[in-house]
Amino acid sequence: MAATAFDTLAAARRLKAAGIKAEHAEAIAEVVGLAVNQPKLVTVEHFDAEIANLHAANTRLHARLDAAKAGSAAKRDAVQSTSRSELHARTDTERTNLWTDYRDVGLAWLAALISIVVCASTLFYIN
């Protein structure tokens, strides 16, 4: 799209001819000239290019977020796996300790029971 040139001198002359004071006509023509002759007007092509840049940046951002999400999930799974295996190991150790304690208590109880039976039987034999 070609830039439109605005002739401020011709515009000022036409405004003066229409009855506007010379200083006002020149100021109006200058302001309109600045607005029309802007070197950085947004064109449809420029706008479309910027939209395409935004879409590309959005796609890159989503890719980074997906990668971070996958990394976080992997770390979470590793922690859960480690925690589960540690928990199983501790549970097995405690189960073994409990069975050992129960066995020792059972054997002590059995030994006490045998002692009582032996004492009782010796009392019956003595009498």
pTM of the full predicted structure? 0.37
CA–CA dist 8, 27 (Å, integer):
10
The residue behind tokens 């001198």 is 9
SS (H, E, C) 103-120: HHHHHHHHHHHHHHHHHH
Total structural domains within the chain? 2
Largest CA distance in the chain: 152
Apex 71 CA angle, 70 and 76, nearest 5: 95
Regarding whether 95 and 74 lie in a shared domain, the answer is yes
- Please give the residue range of the domain that contains residue 18: 1-40
How distant, in Å, are the alpha carbons of 22, 28, 48, 89 from that of 37? Answer: 22, 14, 22, 79
Q: What is the identity of the amino acid at 43?
A: T
Q: How confident is the model at residue 23 (pLDDT cuts 50, 70, 90)?
A: very high
How distant, in Å, are the alpha carbons of 60, 61, 75, 126 from that of 71? Answer: 17, 15, 6, 82
pLDDT at residue 47 greater than cutoff 60:
yes
Regarding whether 48 and 15 lie in a shared domain, the answer is no
Regarding whether 56 and 71 lie in a shared domain, the answer is yes
Q: Do residues 25 and 16 touch, judged by C-beta distance below 8 A? A: yes
Q: What is the identity of the amino acid at 126?
A: I
Regarding whether 109 and 85 lie in a shared domain, the answer is yes
Regarding whether 88 and 49 lie in a shared domain, the answer is yes
pLDDT score, position 1: 46
Q: What is the pLDDT of residues 61-116, one digit of tens each?
A: 999 888 888 888 888 887 777 777 787 888 888 888 888 887 888 788 878 878 87
CB atoms within 10 A of CB 14: 13
Regarding whether 54 and 23 lie in a shared domain, the answer is no
Regarding whether 88 and 110 lie in a shared domain, the answer is yes
pLDDT score, position 41: 65
Q: What is the mean pLDDT of residues 7-14?
A: 89
pLDDT score, position 24: 92
119 compared with 20, residue with greater pLDDT: 20
pLDDT score, position 14: 92
